[in-house]
Amino acid sequence: MTVPPQWGPRRRGHLAEAASRAGLPPPTLVTAPAALAAYATALGHAVPQNACILVCQADRQPVTLTVLQLVGDDFHELATRQIDTPRDVDHLIVQRVIAAATTNDDPLRTQADHPSGVDTNGRLALMESVRTARHLLAEHDRAPVLLPAPRPPAVITRDDVTIATQPFLDEVTTEVAELLDAADVDKTHLAGVIVRAAHGVPGLTERIAQATGTVPGIVDNSHALADGALTLTTLDQPEPRAAATHLPRVRLRIRDLAGILLLGACSLALLLQAVQTADVTTVDSWVVGIRTSMPQLATAGAFAMLAALAIAHLAPTTWLAGTPTPATPEPTTGSLIRQGYLAATAGGLITATLYGLATGTAFEFDYTPYLKWTLGAALPLAACTALIALIALTAPRIPAPALPTWLTLARPALTPALLAVTGIYLMRAALTLTTPVDLACPASSAASEQPSSEQPPS
């Protein structure tokens, strides 16, 4: 939160107490001049170490001047001063408008000279109309001022504002000199001057430049205070890490589940095609040789591992989609990623192993060569999945804002995988329309072409 530089422990304590009552964490308080200086520095206004900078806040009443010194990564206030005039700028302009638009016997003049007079609502409405006109003069040469009925509206120009604010501008040079004396600095010590734009006070920037001998930098962003305060506080507080934070709660989408189902379906389609299109050689009902595409079986095992990887990518979000209870609090992101990807590593390898065993069982033949292909193709992907879990365990330096990008990079590429499976499936189907073809090389059977002397099992 940004606070005025004049606020001391009493008012700052009130803010901390109010935040505590509202259930908020203790606020980090940053003075408004320091926030503006940090904002200007972030935009490229270089301030050397131990150098001083003058900040003028003219967008609020009264106008505040502050001298800051950069020490390390923080701005320390050396002196602050408010430009107090007998009457504020809006009241000076109101007097000038009334003097030009009314007669001597008009009661509105009495009300302007004595603010405590009657018709307070009409005077407040006139003040608000003047403020609106001052803002319009930032883009237009003339602006209307609505006077209390039945009087017609008055029109003011930039010259009217300049003349009305002349007493205020005359105060600037003196106030700047006294402020520099209070801060015990000279004009040569100022590394820069920052002015928060005040469109309703023309000539203020030129007067400050004349008083300091430095061309001011204009800050005209409505979010300057917030951005500058965030810049200062992020330098003092460590950035949250993904391993210690909680994943955001999201609504599961159909396409998230469809990706897992498609990868699993592709894996089963390749396995079933390799088994059904195999050329089985038998002698007296005894299987002596099998001709099938071993790389296709390996691809089926690899896609089983990809499906497990997709489940691991979705598992942390699925876990947090439920409602937490006191007995089961929300786990951290690091533990979810670690558990999910380690489980995917084990699940994918088990599925690839079952593929090899199931193929051998379907052929009623030795499952060893099939197990080597399906498990061998899944092992590299399983190593990558285990590496992701290891990174979540041993590298907790991933920033929390970078977690969505990091998880996106770990997501399996669904579209290229579907295109690859489609091509493999169609090519195998075209080659096996007439006669089964061994795409791997010679027969994949480890047995000889002659029948074994052993009797086949009953």
Of 403, 423, 420, nearest to 411 by C-alpha is 403
pLDDT at 267: 92
Rounded CA separation 439/291 (Å): 9
Q: How confident is the model at residue 349 (pLDDT cuts 50, 70, 90)?
A: very high
Parallel/antiparallel/unpaired status of strands 154-157 and 190-196: unpaired
Average pLDDT over residues 102-120: 59
pLDDT at 284: 78
Residue 186 clears pLDDT 70, i.e. is over it: yes
* pTM exceeding 0.85: no
Residue 395 clears pLDDT 90, i.e. is over it: no
pLDDT at 445: 42
Q: How confident is the model at residue 454 (pLDDT cuts 50, 70, 90)?
A: very low
Contacts of 362-370 with CB under 8 Å at 24 or more apart are 362/275, 363/275, 363/278, 363/280, 363/287, 363/290, 364/287, 365/287, 365/290, 365/445, 366/446, 366/447, 368/446, 369/294, 369/444, 369/446, 370/294, 370/297
pLDDT tens for each residue of 260-301: 889 999 999 999 998 888 888 888 778 888 888 899 999 999
In 147-197, at which residue ranges do the beta strands (DSSP E only) sit? 154-157, 190-196
Sign of CA dihedral 331, 334, 336, 339: negative
Rounded CA separation 329/105 (Å): 76
- For residue 419, what are its two tokens? 């295109």
For the chain, the average pLDDT equals 77
Q: How confident is the model at residue 446 (pLDDT cuts 50, 70, 90)?
A: very low
The full set of domains in the chain, from first to last, is 2-83+166-236 (3.30.420.40), 89-160 (3.90.640), 243-431 (no CATH)
* Contacts of 164 by beta carbon, 8 Å cutoff, 6+ apart: 89, 92, 93, 95, 96
Residue 323 clears pLDDT 80, i.e. is over it: no
pLDDT tens for each residue of 126-168: 778 877 887 777 777 788 887 777 778 888 887 777 777 777 7
